[in-house]
Amino acid sequence: MYRLDLKIRLYNGSDIAIGPGKAELLAAIAQHGSISAAARAMDMSYRRAWLLVETMNRSFKQPLVSTLAGGKHGGGTRLTETGEQVLEHYRALCARALGAIENDCAELAELLSEPPAEKS
Protein backbone atom coordinates (compact mmCIF):
# COMPACT_ATOMS: atom_id res chain seq x y z
CA MET A 1 0.00 0.00 0.00
CA TYR A 2 1.40 3.37 -0.92
CA ARG A 3 0.61 6.82 0.34
CA LEU A 4 0.49 9.86 -1.91
CA ASP A 5 1.29 13.19 -0.35
CA LEU A 6 1.04 16.20 -2.65
CA LYS A 7 1.95 19.60 -1.22
CA ILE A 8 1.14 22.65 -3.28
CA ARG A 9 2.48 26.00 -2.13
CA LEU A 10 1.84 29.38 -3.71
CA TYR A 11 4.67 31.83 -3.11
CA ASN A 12 4.52 35.61 -3.06
CA GLY A 13 8.16 36.58 -3.30
CA SER A 14 9.94 34.45 -0.71
CA ASP A 15 6.82 34.07 1.47
CA ILE A 16 4.50 31.08 1.22
CA ALA A 17 1.19 32.84 0.62
CA ILE A 18 -0.84 29.63 0.96
CA GLY A 19 0.07 25.99 1.44
CA PRO A 20 -1.31 22.95 3.23
CA GLY A 21 -0.61 24.20 6.76
CA LYS A 22 -1.96 27.67 6.15
CA ALA A 23 -5.07 26.24 4.49
CA GLU A 24 -5.59 24.03 7.54
CA LEU A 25 -5.19 27.09 9.78
CA LEU A 26 -7.76 29.06 7.74
CA ALA A 27 -10.22 26.17 8.03
CA ALA A 28 -9.62 25.97 11.80
CA ILE A 29 -10.16 29.72 12.20
CA ALA A 30 -13.43 29.44 10.25
CA GLN A 31 -14.51 26.54 12.45
CA HIS A 32 -13.47 27.92 15.85
CA GLY A 33 -13.91 31.67 15.36
CA SER A 34 -10.57 32.63 16.86
CA ILE A 35 -6.89 32.34 16.14
CA SER A 36 -6.13 31.07 19.64
CA ALA A 37 -8.77 28.30 19.47
CA ALA A 38 -7.60 27.35 15.97
CA ALA A 39 -4.00 27.21 17.19
CA ARG A 40 -4.98 25.00 20.16
CA ALA A 41 -6.92 22.68 17.85
CA MET A 42 -3.82 22.35 15.67
CA ASP A 43 -1.44 21.97 18.63
CA MET A 44 0.32 25.17 17.57
CA SER A 45 1.38 28.19 19.57
CA TYR A 46 -0.74 31.32 19.30
CA ARG A 47 2.34 33.27 18.21
CA ARG A 48 3.06 30.85 15.37
CA ALA A 49 -0.57 30.98 14.21
CA TRP A 50 -0.58 34.78 14.37
CA LEU A 51 2.63 35.00 12.32
CA LEU A 52 1.13 32.69 9.67
CA VAL A 53 -2.01 34.84 9.54
CA GLU A 54 0.10 37.98 9.17
CA THR A 55 2.01 36.42 6.28
CA MET A 56 -1.21 35.39 4.54
CA ASN A 57 -2.80 38.80 5.08
CA ARG A 58 0.13 40.67 3.54
CA SER A 59 0.53 38.18 0.68
CA PHE A 60 -2.86 38.85 -0.88
CA LYS A 61 -4.43 42.07 -2.14
CA GLN A 62 -7.08 41.84 0.57
CA PRO A 63 -6.65 40.30 4.04
CA LEU A 64 -7.78 36.68 4.46
CA VAL A 65 -8.46 36.95 8.18
CA SER A 66 -10.20 39.72 10.07
CA THR A 67 -10.11 40.19 13.83
CA LEU A 68 -13.12 41.57 15.66
CA ALA A 69 -12.60 43.92 18.59
CA GLY A 70 -13.31 42.55 22.04
CA GLY A 71 -16.06 43.83 24.21
CA LYS A 72 -18.91 42.61 26.33
CA HIS A 73 -19.10 39.31 24.44
CA GLY A 74 -15.41 39.14 23.55
CA GLY A 75 -13.73 39.46 20.21
CA GLY A 76 -13.10 36.88 17.62
CA THR A 77 -11.65 36.18 14.23
CA ARG A 78 -13.27 35.30 10.94
CA LEU A 79 -12.28 34.67 7.37
CA THR A 80 -12.95 37.55 5.04
CA GLU A 81 -14.69 36.95 1.73
CA THR A 82 -11.23 36.83 0.14
CA GLY A 83 -10.11 34.32 2.77
CA GLU A 84 -13.07 32.07 1.98
CA GLN A 85 -12.32 32.35 -1.75
CA VAL A 86 -8.62 31.58 -1.30
CA LEU A 87 -9.39 28.52 0.84
CA GLU A 88 -12.01 27.27 -1.64
CA HIS A 89 -9.74 27.79 -4.67
CA TYR A 90 -6.75 26.21 -2.91
CA ARG A 91 -8.75 23.10 -1.96
CA ALA A 92 -10.12 22.81 -5.50
CA LEU A 93 -6.63 23.19 -6.97
CA CYS A 94 -5.27 20.44 -4.72
CA ALA A 95 -8.15 18.10 -5.59
CA ARG A 96 -7.70 18.69 -9.34
CA ALA A 97 -3.93 18.23 -9.11
CA LEU A 98 -4.34 14.95 -7.20
CA GLY A 99 -6.87 13.72 -9.76
CA ALA A 100 -4.54 14.60 -12.61
CA ILE A 101 -1.65 12.53 -11.25
CA GLU A 102 -3.60 9.67 -9.66
CA ASN A 103 -3.20 7.18 -12.54
CA ASP A 104 0.52 7.82 -12.98
CA CYS A 105 1.04 7.48 -9.23
CA ALA A 106 -0.83 4.18 -9.15
CA GLU A 107 1.32 2.85 -12.00
CA LEU A 108 4.47 4.06 -10.28
CA ALA A 109 3.32 2.53 -6.99
CA GLU A 110 3.05 -0.88 -8.67
CA LEU A 111 6.83 -0.73 -9.07
CA LEU A 112 7.45 -0.11 -5.37
CA SER A 113 8.91 -2.82 -3.18
CA GLU A 114 7.28 -3.83 0.08
CA PRO A 115 7.81 -1.15 2.72
CA PRO A 116 10.25 -1.98 5.49
CA ALA A 117 8.73 -3.27 8.72
CA GLU A 118 8.18 -0.56 11.28
CA LYS A 119 10.39 -0.68 14.33
CA SER A 120 8.67 -0.87 17.67
What are the pLDDT digits (tens) for 7-58? 999 999 999 999 999 999 999 999 999 999 999 999 999 999 999 999 999 9
Query: Is 54:16 a contact under the CB 8 Å cutoff?
Result: no
The pLDDT of residue 69: 73
- Which domains does the chain show, CATH number per domain? 10-109 (1.10.10.10)
Query: Is 74:37 a contact under the CB 8 Å cutoff?
Result: no
The pLDDT of residue 74: 64
What is the distance between the alpha carbons of residues 10 and 92, in angstroms, rounded to a whole number? 14
Query: Is 19:26 a contact under the CB 8 Å cutoff?
Result: no
* Paired residues of 43 in beta bridges: none
pLDDT band at 6 (very low <50, low <70, confident <90, very high): confident
β 15-18/10-12 pair status: antiparallel
What is the distance between the alpha carbons of residues 88 and 104, in angstroms, rounded to a whole number? 26
Distances in whole angstroms, Cα of residue 53 to Cα of each of 32, 50, 97, 109 = 15, 5, 25, 37
Whole-model pTM: value is: 0.85
- pLDDT above 90 as % of the chain: 70
